[in-house]
């Protein structure tokens, strides 16, 4: 079979959708196809020495038969899900990188090297981030990595999951919420509320995950925890021991601290 070369798509010969993307219930079919194309274009561009996929949003929209506004919404959905990110910007053009769930990059980009002992990709950008993180800690700003380790540890402990605390997607979400003024306790409250509300709901339980709990809706989840706690404390709602454990994650006293 002869391959048909598609113009303006360096290294592009088709798309492949991994099962981690295909089974995502929070994505539409067109989102999955868009991710797969960005993934193919990203690696094709890297092979040519470019930092990532640099196809214009307007071009994507025209080819998919949607408006530019709709395409931007699709892009935002993938970004909010931690499946794509802007990996470079030269002042005129932004470059996109594809990411698998959990923040795993499909393949190393140009200039990256693999550390055999840990399997971690190291780039000059990552080294700079580590230095900046040290400076932030000295300046009294929240330690994003430390907060992530604590709250993801709590989520894994209560749900029996194995989410990693230091993936790009998770750190990005936690950093964004910390910049908005939220504290570690707010993350723990949001976790407690979502588990209490969704754990026994087959439709909602899959959403007890970092990308949902720590999204822009986290404030509502944390406030929901406060509301449930206040109602229980003042006797407006009578709860059995099982219900209280679901909300507070252990001790049944309604005045127990979240942490």
**pLDDT tens string 45-99:** 887 888 888 888 999 999 999 999 999 999 998 888 888 888 887 778 888 988 8
Residue 75 lies in a domain: yes
Residues 171 and 243 in one domain: yes
Residues 100 and 165 in one domain: no
pLDDT attached to residue 19: 85
Q: What is the pLDDT at residue 131? A: 55
Domains in the chain: how many in total? 2
Do the domain assignments include residue 4?
no
Q: CA separation (Å) from 57 to 66, 78, 146, 219, 249?
A: 11, 14, 36, 31, 45
What pLDDT is attached to residue 79? Answer: 87
Residues 168 and 88 in one domain: no
* Domain presence at residue 207: yes
| Residue ranges for the chain with pLDDT beneath 70 | 1-13, 101-141, 232-259
**Residue 68 is part of which domain span?**
19-110
Identify the pLDDT of residue 249: 58
Could you tell me if residue 165 is inside a domain?
Answer: yes
Residues 149 and 75 in one domain: no
- Which pLDDT value is given to residue 140? 55
Domain boundary among 66, 89, 110: 110
CATH number for the domain including 59?
1.10.10
Residues 182 and 244 in one domain: yes
pLDDT at 129: 53
Q: How many CB atoms lie within 10 A of CB 68?
A: 14
Identify whether 131 is part of a domain: no
Q: What is the pLDDT of residue 252?
A: 38
Q: Examine the domain organization and report whether 234 and 161 are in the same domain.
A: yes
Whether residues 48 and 90 share a domain: the answer is yes
Q: Are 43 and 52 in contact (CB under 8 A)?
A: no
């Amino acid at each position: 079979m002869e391959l048909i070369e598609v113009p303006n798509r360096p290294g592009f010969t088709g798309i492949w959708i991994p099962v981690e993307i295909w089974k995502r219930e929070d994505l539409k079919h067109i989102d999955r196809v868009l991710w797969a194309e960005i993934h193919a274009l990203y690696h094709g561009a890297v092979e040519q020495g470019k930092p990532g996929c640099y196809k214009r949003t307007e071009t994507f929209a025209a080819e998919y038969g949607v408006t530019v506004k709709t395409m931007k919404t699709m892009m935002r959905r993938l970004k909010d899900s931690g499946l794509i990110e802007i990996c470079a910007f030269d002042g005129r053009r932004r470059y996109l990188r594809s990411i698998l769930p959990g923040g795993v990059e499909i393949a190393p980009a140009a200039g990256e090297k693999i550390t055999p002992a840990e399997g971690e990709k190291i780039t000059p950008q990552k080294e700079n981030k580590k230095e900046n993180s040290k400076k932030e800690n000295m300046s009294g700003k929240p330690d994003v990595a430390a907060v992530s380790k604590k709250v993801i540890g709590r989520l894994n402990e209560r749900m029996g999951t194995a989410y990693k605390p230091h993936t790009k997607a998770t750190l990005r979400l936690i950093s964004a919420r910390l910049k908005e003024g939220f504290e570690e306790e707010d993350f723990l409250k949001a976790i407690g509320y979502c588990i209490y509300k969704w754990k026994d709901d087959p439709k909602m339980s899959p959403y007890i995950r970092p990308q949902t709990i720590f999204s822009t809706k986290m404030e509502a989840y944390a406030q929901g925890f406060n509301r449930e706690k206040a109602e229980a404390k003042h006797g407006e709602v009578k709860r059995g021991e099982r219900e209280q454990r679901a909300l507070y994650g252990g001790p049944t006293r309604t005045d127990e601290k979240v942490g």
